[in-house]
Amino acid sequence: MDSIKLLTMILMIILGIMIMLLIVLGIVFMTSKMNKKEEEEKKDVQNNNKAPKSKKFKEYRTASVLDFMEFDTVIDNMISQKDGKRYIMVVECQGINYDLMSEVEKNSVEEGFLQFLNTLRHPVQIYTQTRTINLENSIQTYKEKVKEIENALEKQETKYKQMIKSESYTQEQLNRAYFELTKQKNLYEYGKDIIYSTEKMSSNKNVLNKKYYVVIPYFVEELGDNSFDKEEQRSLAFSELYTRAQSVVRTLAVCGINSRIMDSNELVELLYVAYNRDEAEVYGLEKALKAGYDELYSTAPDVVDKQMRALDKQIEDQALELAQQKVTEARTEKQKALQEKRLKERDLIGELAELMISENAQLIGEDIAVDAIEKLKEETKEEGGKGSGKEKQKRTRKTKTA
């Protein structure tokens, strides 16, 4: 019995030891497995960080808008980026209500959009900007119009009262004036209601408007090995971008989408709203420009520039004075020639009359023609004597005054 109990005790101890070993082995296996997983995860993270960004699709999806918004300046209806190495032109598009179209119209729009995609030979980006509707300018315009209507209403009321007091108008004329007065009152009340509803709508910040843009980039590298300067590169970029933008506008017109190329001021507003989402709702670009936010400091112009402007002004003034002087001289020369012609008028008339008489001597008669010519010569001599006497009198007067 003692040996059996001893054997059972030994077996129990052995079983206990085996169970403990199995538990320890299980714990070791689990910890090693967890460590391997952690090492694999770390390796994956390191490989992802070290791997080059070769997938163009990811770059386009994650950095397209950010790349679009990074700019150097806005010039010639283009956004300049990367120190003039990249230029961007933007086409603004008006949305269409696709849901309210018929099936035929929807099919034509889809076919037009497919044509737009198929005709693309350069990369484009579609940018959507959501803005809150600012009705402040509209409200101000409405108020000015309503003020004009109110002034006209006051004049109409005064005129109607004067017509009643005078008692010199017929009932038909009074009825016509009252009708015009009532119409003016209704128009005034309608204008006030419009202002009230517009102000109420403007106070609601949830009224949003979406604007759609097609961004067309151009890289200077597309010119190849060139020796153009910055000005020439910008000019060539503008020509190419304008051609591409016009092509986009024409192909989008097939879809029924009205679009246009944005100018420099509109591009500045676009970038201003993109960078100042919160401020643009309260303090728009127009207010910022009026407030002179871009005039925080001023520098005096260069002295050489001042001198050149002053010299240009001096040259312009002297040229104007010289031109006036020459015009005056030309006029005086013409007047002198006219005066000389007037002085010789009688001589020319006499010569022409003598020529006519001599040519028609056979018809008139030789004797009569000779007598007529002699009388003409006598008259011219008498007028010449009178003229010489007058000239002598003028000369004596001049000498006396001298």
Give me the pLDDT at residue 383, please.
61
For 174-190, the pLDDT digits (tens) are 899 899 999 999 999 99
From 84, 66, 112, 74, select the one nearest 262 (Cα to Cα): 74
> What's the DSSP call for residue 78?
E
- Which amino acid is it at 174? L
Which residue would you say has higher pLDDT here, 246 or 12? Answer: 246
Asked if pLDDT for residue 308 goes beyond 80, the answer is no
- Name every residue whose Cβ is closer than 8 Å to that of residue 259 and which is 6 or more positions away in sequence: 91, 92, 93, 94, 214, 248, 249, 252, 253
What are the structure tokens assigned to 258, written together?
């009205």
Q: Give residue 92's pLDDT band: very low, low, confident or very high (50, 70, 90).
A: very high
From 9, 63, 88, 69, select the one nearest 277 (Cα to Cα): 69
Which residue would you say has higher pLDDT here, 78 or 315? Answer: 78
Tell me which residue has tokens 């030891």: 17
Give me the pLDDT at residue 291, please.
61
Asked if pLDDT for residue 63 goes beyond 70, the answer is no
Asked if pLDDT for residue 378 goes beyond 80, the answer is no
Q: Give residue 261's pLDDT band: very low, low, confident or very high (50, 70, 90).
A: very high
Give me the pLDDT at residue 284, please.
61
> Do residues 143 and 195 lie in contact, with contact meaning Cβ atoms separated by under 8 Å?
yes
Asked if pLDDT for residue 169 goes beyond 70, the answer is yes
Give me the pLDDT at residue 298, please.
46
What are the structure tokens assigned to 334, written together?
């013409």
Mean pLDDT of the chain: 78
Asked if pLDDT for residue 89 goes beyond 90, the answer is yes
Q: Is 263 left (phi over 0), alpha (psi -120 to 50) or beta?
A: beta
Per-residue pLDDT, averaged over 207-235, amounts to: 86
Among residues of the chain, what percentage have pLDDT more than 90?
15
Per-residue pLDDT, averaged over 219-223, amounts to: 87
> What's the DSSP call for residue 139?
H
For 7-46, the pLDDT digits (tens) are 788 888 888 888 888 888 878 778 877 777 777 766 665 6
Which residue would you say has higher pLDDT here, 91 or 392? Answer: 91
* φ and ψ at residue 171, rounded to 5 degrees: -65, -35
In angstroms, the CA 181 to CA 28 distance is 100
Asked if pLDDT for residue 50 goes beyond 60, the answer is no
Give me the pLDDT at residue 379, please.
74
3-state secondary structure of 158: helix
From 80, 37, 124, select the one nearest 268 (Cα to Cα): 80
Is the entire prediction scored with pTM above 0.85?
A: no
Q: Give residue 394's pLDDT band: very low, low, confident or very high (50, 70, 90).
A: very low
Instruction: Please state, as a whole number, how many other Cβ atoms lie within 10 Å of the Cβ of residue 351.
Output: 13
* φ and ψ at residue 84, rounded to 5 degrees: 80, 10
Per-residue pLDDT, averaged over 284-292, amounts to: 62
Q: Give residue 87's pLDDT band: very low, low, confident or very high (50, 70, 90).
A: very high
Per-residue pLDDT, averaged over 100-124, amounts to: 89
Give me the pLDDT at residue 148, please.
92
